[in-house]
A and B are shown apart, each in its own frame.
Chain A
Amino acid sequence: MSITHDPTSGTPDRTLVSRRRLLGAGAAGAGAVALGACADDGPNLPAEGEIVSVRTPSVPRRDPASPLWDDAPPTVVVLEGQITAPPYRREPVVADISVRSLHDRDDVALLVEWDDPRPDAATVANDGFRDACAVLLGDPAAGEELRFMGTQQHPVTLLQWKADWQHDVEHGVRTIDDEYPDRSVDAYPPIVTDDPLGITPADYVTADATPWLPGLHVGNLLSAPTRTRCVEKMIAYGFGTTTTTDTQDADGWGRHDGGRWAVVVTKPLAAHDAGELHLRPRGSATCAFAVWSGADGDAGGRKSVSTRTYRLVLREAHGPSPFPS
């Protein structure tokens, strides 16, 4: 497993087992917990069922270990199995997650952290599944129905971070070459070469041969020959309707350390696609969460989901941090 800190960010690695993890763990099992509420009444503290997004000069888009996250109060979100649409997951693999949020003039970012002793980022083999997490954002006026992938009246914006996509960004898109480098292949028509095992999906693009890779040919992001982002933005109007948006401007990064994932997921405040949630400073959104454990065969509806929706509140003012350093 080689999920590491984003080498392009310039921020040095730092241990994530910090005071915020300890605070998060202490609140596990309490449902939607406003961690700081019992200790401080500062302006950034979340109320019941609330996630406070703290204004910051610039969100750490790809840095889950940034000290800026210490300014954002954590909310512990309890998860349950998805039991509405088969295939189910009756019992959650992940019991709870910790969520923090920051925003700046242009973007909102959420830091999602959860325990996962068996990180998984390979989706090449038939039985290979990825770790992932998703943030669901919807109209603040909508209620619990948003948890079920939105409705026709209240579409939801989904931001899904995928561990295998992050691996692709770091090391190049993983294909069958990584799983079976010694397989026997005579040729990959129509590409003519003496070294068929040296062919990559990108070569199909160069050779104008994408019909031989149908997913790539129709533009499915899962089949992309190269990758620069590991968060996918989608819109959904109910179960089974999740659709990748034309504009892919969501971003993020994950880090696995000490048996725990810390993943940043960001999106611009402004909407750029039909049905997308448009956020404003001092505004709010309804949100929910999901986590997939690749090692447990999670994919699609087999996931751990939040038991309720939360209100994401964007606080404009810079309040003092309730957490002494």
Chain B
Amino acid sequence: MAEVWNWQLNRTMQYHYDEVRPRRQAAAVFDTNKCIGCQTCTMACKTTWTSGHGQEYMLWNNVETKPWGSYPLAWDVKALQLLGPQHWDGDTYTGDTIFEAAPEDKRALGYAPSDIEFAYPNRGEDEVNVSITREKYHLKMPHDMWFFYLPRVCNHCTYPACLESCSRQSIYKRPEDGVVLVDQDRCRGYRVCYEACPYKKIFYNHTTKVAEKCVFCYPALEQGIQPRCMRSCIGKIRSFGYVSTPDEARDDNPIDFLVHVRKVALPLYPQFGLEPNVYYIPPIHVDSDPFLTMLFGPGARRAIDTYVAAMEGDDRELLAALLLAVSSDRIMTRFSVDDDMVSGYTDDGERAVHMPIRVPNVERSPFDPDLNVYRLNTT
């Protein structure tokens, strides 16, 4: 076992391999406050990658409703239950990761879901956190009850449990962008990876008898284009780019800005210890801080406060960075803010978008003298 630095836990931890970070790490930020659960991302991924024989129950991208939804069934509840109660001391995780809690005969603590657990991807959809009673509920803020959508793809972790557990070394992390892939030729279908991944984002193909997983649409990345699930997001909740380690974070990198500078985007279940690279802006209307901390770590409340302040107009730069989400198919690795405009730039320095941070409010006269007509606003 090696000692590796996990910045999300603010400590070193045990891992089977040495700390070798890619030249840059592909990453995404999902704003849970904007997700409407339309599943367009799910279908974009499904039709692109998993429409083949043996992939029927395989969703590399899914959107589940929290707190009750899960795909596969209860994946996170089971993983948390295996790990047992753990604790944070401020920003430092003092509990065990799944690597440190692994039994002697495995490299990671995990379980293998059965087929039936993949059969209900929408279980718990739109179910609120509390039981609905005969009492009348009135709309008010913050909400009496809540749920939110949690879109999920492979986290392309810095310390992947799937990769670590594969005795065949069939899983690898690309040095150029940190994308985690399964070598389809070397895999022998042992399903140890499937047992080890706590996020349950590696799957077994029932027809080819080998493991498959999200590839982050790497053929698109290689052309500077965002993954399909990101591009198809009609709620524009997703930002794609490359995340740095905290010590190398750049203020003008949109992902670094959201993750490291403003700290509004947080990893999902960081306590597992994988240093996942999909980050979430926590839902602002969830009134349970323990629940948010369990999902996103100790920075959840602080992230919500920062996010809400920005929405109220206190943080133009943060609004600008959020606005870049799905504003272009092209991957933007730098942004700038000038006056009330935000610009996003590609790796080549080309400006991919240039748009107002707030769309000006224009009041139109009901009478158009040029066409000599009256036009009424109907909304």
Which residues of A approach B to under 8 Å, CB–CB? 83, 85-90, 123-127, 175-176, 179-180, 183, 185, 187-189, 199-201, 204, 212-220, 222-223, 239-240, 242-243, 299-301
- A222 close to B188 (CB less than 8 A): yes
Q: Which of A183, A189, A214 is in CB contact (< 8 Å) with B56?
A: A183
A176 to B206, CA, bound (A): 5
Residues of A within 8 A of B167 (CB): 85-87, 239-240, 300-301
Can you name 13 A-B residue pairings with CB atoms under 8 Å? A83-B105, A86-B106, A126-B115, A126-B191, A175-B53, A188-B53, A214-B208, A215-B184, A215-B209, A215-B210, A218-B184, A218-B185, A299-B192
- A213 close to B54 (CB less than 8 A): yes
Q: Which of B47, B56, B114 is in CB contact (< 8 Å) with A176?
A: B56
Residues of A within 8 A of B189 (CB): 123, 222, 299
Chain B residue with minimal CB distance to A203?
A: B53
- B53 close to A89 (CB less than 8 A): no
Q: How far is the CB of A132 from chain B (nearest CB, A)?
A: 11
- B190 close to A223 (CB less than 8 A): no
Chain B residue with minimal CB distance to A179?
A: B206
Binary A-proximity of B134-149 (CB < 8 A = 1, otherwise 0): 0000000000000000
Q: How far is the CB of B15 from chain A (nearest CB, A)?
A: 13
Residue in A88, A179, A200, A213 whose Cβ sees the most chain B Cβ within 10 Å: A213
- B209 close to A123 (CB less than 8 A): yes
Q: Which of A88, A188, A218, A300 is in CB contact (< 8 Å) with B51?
A: A188
- B192 close to A88 (CB less than 8 A): no
- B105 close to A88 (CB less than 8 A): yes
- A215 close to B104 (CB less than 8 A): no
- A126 close to B208 (CB less than 8 A): no
Binary A-proximity of B19-57 (CB < 8 A = 1, otherwise 0): 000000000000000000000000000010001111010
- A175 close to B206 (CB less than 8 A): yes
In the complex, whether B378 has a CB less than 8 A from a CB of chain A is no
Q: How far is the CB of B159 from chain A (nearest CB, A)?
A: 16
Residues of A within 8 A of B53 (CB): 175-176, 188, 199-201, 204, 212-213
In the complex, whether B207 has a CB less than 8 A from a CB of chain A is yes
Residues of B within 8 A of A243 (CB): 186
In the complex, whether B355 has a CB less than 8 A from a CB of chain A is no
- A126 close to B192 (CB less than 8 A): no
Binary A-proximity of B200-241 (CB < 8 A = 1, otherwise 0): 000011111110100000000000000000000000000000
- A299 close to B190 (CB less than 8 A): yes
Chain A residue with minimal CB distance to B164?
A: A86
Q: How far is the CB of B117 from chain A (nearest CB, A)?
A: 8
In the complex, whether B112 has a CB less than 8 A from a CB of chain A is yes
- B207 close to A126 (CB less than 8 A): no
Residues of B within 8 A of A223 (CB): 205, 207-210
Number of residues of chain B lying within 8 A (CB) of chain A: 37
Residues of A within 8 A of B169 (CB): 240
Q: Which of B105, B168, B204 is in CB contact (< 8 Å) with A86?
A: B105
In the complex, whether B260 has a CB less than 8 A from a CB of chain A is no
Q: How far is the CB of B238 from chain A (nearest CB, A)?
A: 25
Chain B residue with minimal CB distance to A204?
A: B53
Binary A-proximity of B68-104 (CB < 8 A = 1, otherwise 0): 0000000000000000000000000000000000001
- B52 close to A213 (CB less than 8 A): yes
- B185 close to A219 (CB less than 8 A): yes
**Main SS of the interface on chain B?**
loop
Q: How far is the CB of A52 from chain B (nearest CB, A)?
A: 32
Lowest 6 CB-CB distances: which A-B pairs, in order? A215-B208, A300-B190, A88-B105, A223-B208, A212-B52, A176-B206
Residues of B within 8 A of A125 (CB): 114-115, 206
In the complex, whether B271 has a CB less than 8 A from a CB of chain A is no
Q: Which of A90, A220, A300 is in CB contact (< 8 Å) with B210?
A: A220
Q: How far is the CB of A196 from chain B (nearest CB, A)?
A: 9
A186 to B331, CA, bound (A): 34
Residue in A83, A88, A126, A175 whose Cβ sees the most chain B Cβ within 10 Å: A126
Residues of A within 8 A of B194 (CB): 126
Q: How far is the CB of B283 from chain A (nearest CB, A)?
A: 31
Binary A-proximity of B118-154 (CB < 8 A = 1, otherwise 0): 1000000000000000000000000000000000000
A184 to B88, CA, bound (A): 45
Residues of B within 8 A of A83 (CB): 105
- A86 close to B51 (CB less than 8 A): no
- B209 close to A222 (CB less than 8 A): yes
Q: How far is the CB of A34 from chain B (nearest CB, A)?
A: 34
A137 to B167, CA, bound (A): 21
Chain A residue with minimal CB distance to B52?
A: A212
A87 to B118, CA, bound (A): 24
In the complex, whether B156 has a CB less than 8 A from a CB of chain A is no
Residue in B188, B190, B192, B209 whose Cβ sees the most chain A Cβ within 10 Å: B209
A201 to B206, CA, bound (A): 11
Residues of A within 8 A of B118 (CB): 126
- B188 close to A87 (CB less than 8 A): no
In the complex, whether B107 has a CB less than 8 A from a CB of chain A is yes
A16 to B54, CA, bound (A): 37
A216 to B205, CA, bound (A): 11
Other than A175-B207, A201-B53, give 18 A-B pairs with Cβ distance below 8 A.
A86-B107, A87-B165, A90-B105, A123-B189, A125-B114, A125-B206, A126-B115, A127-B115, A176-B53, A179-B115, A188-B51, A201-B208, A212-B53, A214-B210, A215-B208, A217-B184, A220-B185, A220-B210
In the complex, whether B113 has a CB less than 8 A from a CB of chain A is yes
- A88 close to B104 (CB less than 8 A): yes
In the complex, whether B284 has a CB less than 8 A from a CB of chain A is no
Q: Which of A127, A200, A222, A240 is in CB contact (< 8 Å) with B208?
A: A222
A247 to B208, CA, bound (A): 21
In the complex, whether B187 has a CB less than 8 A from a CB of chain A is yes
Residues of B within 8 A of A85 (CB): 167
Residues of A within 8 A of B105 (CB): 83, 86-90
A175 to B212, CA, bound (A): 16
Q: How far is the CB of A254 from chain B (nearest CB, A)?
A: 19
- A222 close to B192 (CB less than 8 A): no
Residues of A within 8 A of B190 (CB): 299-301
- A124 close to B206 (CB less than 8 A): yes
